Amino acid sequence: MTEVTELTQVATLTEEDFNELPAPKPPAQKGEWDPYFNALDQGKIVRIDYTNDKDRANKRRAIGQVAARRGMKVIVKEGKGFFGVQKDGTREIVKPGRRKKETS
C-alpha cells in the first residue's frame, strides 16, 4: 500500500490490495420501525401498542430515537396500552450549530 505523508497527496491501491480487503457488508435488513415511519411520512397517524411498563418505556424511547435518525419530529400521545404518533410538520428541525440568523 502507498503511504500518505501529506493531506494533499492521493493514496492509491493496487488491484491485488483492493481484492484483499473484506467484502462489503450486505444491506441492513428492513427495520421493525420502517412500516410505522413510512406511514408517518405519508401523513398518517399510527398506533403503537405496548404490553407493560418496560415495553412502554422501550417503545417510547425507540420512537424518539428512530424519528431523530430520520430527521423527523413527532407528536406522541399516550392512550391506554398504546401510543398515538403523528409527524409534526409545524416545527423545523435545526441542526446544532446551524441556527437561522434572525434578520431585523
**How far apart are alpha carbons 82 and 63 in whole angstroms?**
12
Please state the rounded mean pLDDT for residues 77-95. Answer: 82
Contact 79, 49 (CB under 8 A): no
With 0-12 / 13-18 / 19 or more C-beta atoms within 10 angstroms meaning exposed / middle / buried, residue 40 is: buried
**How far apart are alpha carbons 46 and 77 in whole angstroms?**
11
- pTM of the predicted model as reported, rounded to 2 decimal places: 0.59
Q: Report CA Rg, the chain.
A: 22
**What is the band of 27 on the pLDDT scale with cuts at 50, 70, 90?**
low
**What is the band of 8 on the pLDDT scale with cuts at 50, 70, 90?**
confident
